[in-house]
Structure 1
Amino acid sequence: MPYFIVLEGLDGVGKSTLARRLANECGYQLMTTPGTQLLPIRSDIINGLGDSQNARALFYAATVQAEGEKARVFNKQGKTVVMDRYRASTIAYAHERGVTLNLDVVLSQAVKPHLSILLALDETERQHRLKQRGTTAEDIETLNPEFREGVVSRLKAMCDIELDLTGADEEEAVIRIRECINRHLVLGPPDPR
């Protein structure tokens, strides 16, 4: 059965790298929000929306809706999808940025993943990775403990499982994620229907 798997988490925990590895090694369809067609123009769109956090949140919500529908099509074609960020990150980050819109309602029709995994990492290790790759403006807000804790709290509430990858190199992290997927999807209890 094809699945829709989402990797969520703070910037710097390895979501993009691990999603690419899973796609390459397991033959999954790699996706991200915003989608690959919007990534090159994302900053222009965000800048064009000005300082309105509500408008920015609606842009990201629209990308979640669109990419979820694409994921459903891939699943219908028999392809398992692994997505780098989705609904949970959009809602968690927006809330901490002061968005007043009810994004739960806005995204109530978004395709639900079969498994949403929150990737976690020791904060010292995460910040080290951010410095190594070059910290972006979006990364900086997660250096604020109050902001970070708010985002993580919401992600924990919305994801199916949390997977701590502290101390794991890339190879070990991929193994742990594959084991998590097998435990919760492939080898999980049979569908009672």
Structure 2
Amino acid sequence: MAAQGVFITFEGIDGSGKSTQARRLADHLRAIGRDVVLTREPGGSPGAEEIRRLVLEGDPDRWSAETEILLFTAARRDHLEKTIAPALAAGKAVICDRFADSTRLYQGITRGDLRGVVDQLHALMIGREPDLTFIIDMDPALGLARAKGRNGAEERFEDFGEALQQKMRAGFLDLAREFADRCVVVDGNRGIDAVAADVARLADGRLG
């Protein structure tokens, strides 16, 4: 795995702290000598960042779930080509804030019965799963309050409300069982340092 690089993703509901934990793990791995690329989705490459603005800003009803699947897959393909695959080929550790699991839920399950479409497109255009996925589990009400408290422009999905976040939390826990070989659930209802310590310990154990 080390020779080909390692691909680690962070997933969770909005406001769960996954972005912070992705940064903390990147710092930890760099401190022990690994070459790390920290990236995000949607985004992570110039073309994908342009698509990010399309899907995360504006009215909640701006796009249908079907259209979003196509946009996210296009962004992910560009991200894979321009950022993820080259870094892995160079033997680097790639840490990504969200990946295909988010699309499986946001567009595939919580807004319609489209999981099969997501998986078909993923197999056709992406064909890559992470080596390790951390799911930061968080109380949906607390996570949504945190997310809305950022007062940023990218709140289109937060504007769907707590009901969506409840579905997302349940969906992520289901995914953790479905992909038990790569998914680890971490309790995010704690302080940042405590969560980061657990993530670092688990990553070290998995990666050797």
Scaled by the length of structure 1, what TM-score is found? 0.80
Equivalences for residues 1-193 of structure 1 within 5 A: 1=2, 2-27=5-30, 28-36=36-44, 37=46, 38-39=48-49, 42-44=52-54, 50-69=62-81, 70-95=83-108, 96-98=110-112, 100=114, 102-108=117-123, 109-134=126-151, 136-141=155-160, 143-144=162-163, 147-149=167-169, 151-156=171-176, 157-158=178-179, 160-167=183-190, 169-186=191-208
Query: 1:161: Cα distance to partner?
Result: 1.6
Distance in 1 (alpha carbons) for counterparts of 2:119 and 2:51: 26
Greater mean alpha carbon deviation, residues 81-90 or residues 65-74: 65-74
Distance in 2 (alpha carbons) for counterparts of 1:9 and 1:114: 17
Scaled by the length of structure 2, what TM-score is found? 0.75
Percent identity for Structure 1 against Structure 2: 24
Q: Could you give the per-residue CA deviations for residues 17-65 of structure 1, whole angstroms, max 9, x where no partner exists? A: 2212322342321011122323355333676x95332111111022223
Aligned pair count? 184
Structure 2: segments with no counterpart, 5+ residues: 31-35
Opposite residue 141 of structure 1, the aligned amino acid is F
Q: Is the contact made by 1:16 and 1:84 (CA closer than 8 Å) also made in structure 2? A: yes
Q: Is the contact made by 2:8 and 2:95 (CA closer than 8 Å) also made in structure 1? A: yes
Alignment RMSD: 2.7
Structure 1: segments with no counterpart, 5+ residues: 187-193
